[in-house]
Structure 1
Amino acid sequence: MELIRTIDDLKANIKVMDNYLSSKDHEEIKYAKERVRMGTCFVVVNSKTGYRFYPSRFIGYVDNSIEKHERNNEKDGRKTNPAISEIIGYKPEYDDELEEAYLEYCSFLGFKPTKKGAFGVKRKYWKLTTHQ
């Protein structure tokens, strides 16, 4: 699959994740929550209801969807993270405040996250600002 190249590509996938999380389809909700639960690197958006977290492995591919993501046998954060970093302007970083907000977001979504990200590493974050 093609990696995202623009802020519009990134925002389109954020909207896809938001649509899944607010869907009436239980499987779409479950799938989106599982991506958030399993993620290691996240684009973070401060919304009216608080911080929202979008996993890089899902939002890093152009026009992604559940179907495309499941068929993508080469999905890899080592590919999506540099693409997202190029768009946002810096590499993801661990942040105590965002880690706490992530834990709260998971609680809001109704599940308990893993203690660390994949492979036992700390979760990392990019903060998407309104001017991006």
Structure 2
Amino acid sequence: MRLTSSHDDIAANIKTLETYLHGNDAEARELAVGLLERGTYFIVAELNGAMRFYPSSFVGFQENSAKKHLKNAGSGVRATTGALEKTMRALPFASAKLNALYLEYARSVGIENPKEKPPYAKARRFWLTPGNSLNLSLSDFPNAANDHPYFPEGNAAARLHHHLDRRRKATEASRHAFIHEHGHLYCQVCSFDFEKTYGTTGIDYIEFHHTVPPAETTDSYKPKAEEYVLVCANCHRMLERHRPWLTLPEVKQVLG
């Protein structure tokens, strides 16, 4: 198989993997989850505010698929790593923080007990794609976009909730109030600081968790700045798994 040589090649394979992870083909999903669980080298891409991880052994081949990958299983691991080094113009690096994010992502796709270290190496290594350099969006993955496992209220409530999260007037007011009080942005749950970890890429980046349950809102509802909690992507997902919905005073206790 030909090796990846462009960001477009990587993006195409990421779309394929997302289709496998969220589609109805059980065998393809099993392959994708297995690669994620056993992998050592990963492309890290931000999608919809969360970090997602894609194994180099799949992403490193052009126009890869489950059928092609099974046919070429066990070959080209070093070759794909070399190809991605050239394409990304960077060496993969080990990172405790990215490894922690990997573990959360692995759990989110159904790996119950992901290992702290990969099976055949001392540490996982990552290529970080800052911002949206691969030109990916959630609309590229319709199955993933319509999958809201943490919203028993249904997809309509989930869409409303994310719509509320994007109401810029209230969220920007919340952002400015937080900076005025604390001097910089960080997660109110785990204290994760995007700027400290990612440098200039992370400046002013944060997510907003709306503390009013979707079931209690309507399309005409106008959220207030004080209803938001500033959080990192992982804590945001964890907060939204809680039922009943957490109130503002309870948020800081969620990891206790």
Which band: TM-score by shorter chain? over 0.9
* Greater RCO, CA 8 A, separation 6+: 1
Once the two structures are TM-superposed, the CA of residue 49 in structure 1 deviates from its matched residue by: 5.1
Distance, in Å, in 2 between the alignment partners of 1:27 and 1:47 is 24
Residue pair 1:43, 1:54 contacting (<8 A) in 2 also: yes
- In 2: Cα distance, 1:19 partner to 1:100 partner: 24
Q: Aligned-pair distance for 1:76?
A: 2.8
- What SS does the corresponding residue of 2:32 show, helix, strand or coil? helix
| TM-score, length basis structure 2 | 0.49
Q: Indicate conservation of the 8 Å contact 2:103/2:116, yes or no.
A: no
Give yes or no for contact 2:45–2:53 (8 Å, CA) kept in 1: yes
Structure 2 partner of 1:131 = 133
Q: Deviations over 1:74-112 (max 9, x none)?
A: 523211111111111101000111100000011111212
Measure how far apart 1:73 and its partner are: 4.8
Name the residue aligned to 1:63: 63
Q: Distance in 2 between matches of 1:56 and 1:82?
A: 10
Match for residue 114 of structure 2? Answer: 113
Contact map agreement 2:10 2:60 (CA 8 A) in 1: yes
Please give the secondary structure, in 2, of the residue aligned with 1:119.
Answer: coil
CA contact (8 A) 1:38 1:114 kept: no
With structure 1 as the length reference, what TM-score do the two structures score?
0.92
Contact 2:56–2:81 at 8 Å: present in 1 too?
yes
2:120 is paired with a residue whose SS is: helix
Q: Where in structure 2 are the equivalents of 1:1-132 lying within 5 Å?
A: 1-48=1-48, 50-73=50-73, 75-111=75-111, 112-129=113-130, 130-131=132-133
Q: Percent identity?
A: 33
Structure 2: unaligned runs, 5 residues or longer: 135-256
Instruction: Give SS of 2:36's match.
Output: helix
What amino acid sits opposite 1:55 in the alignment?
Answer: P
Q: Residues of 1 paired with 2:117 and 2:133: CA distance? A: 30
Alignment partners' CA distance in 1, 2:30 and 2:69: 14
AA aligned opposite 1:57: S
Q: Distance in 1 between matches of 2:125 and 2:27?
A: 27
Structure 1 residues 19-42: Cα deviation after superposition (integer angstroms, max 9, x where no partner): 111111222212111110010000
Q: Provide the rounded CA distance (Å) in 2 between the counterparts of 1:22 and 1:67.
A: 17
The runs of at least 4 consecutive aligned structure 1 residues that moved more than 6 Å come to none
Unmatched 5+ stretches in structure 1: none
Q: Is the 8 A contact 1:2 1:62 kept in 2?
A: yes
Q: CA RMSD in A?
A: 1.5
Rounded to whole Å, the distance in 1 between the matches of 2:62 and 2:2 is 6
Q: Output one character per residue of 1:4-28: Cα deviation in whole Å (capped at 9) or x when no partner.
A: 1111111111111011111112222
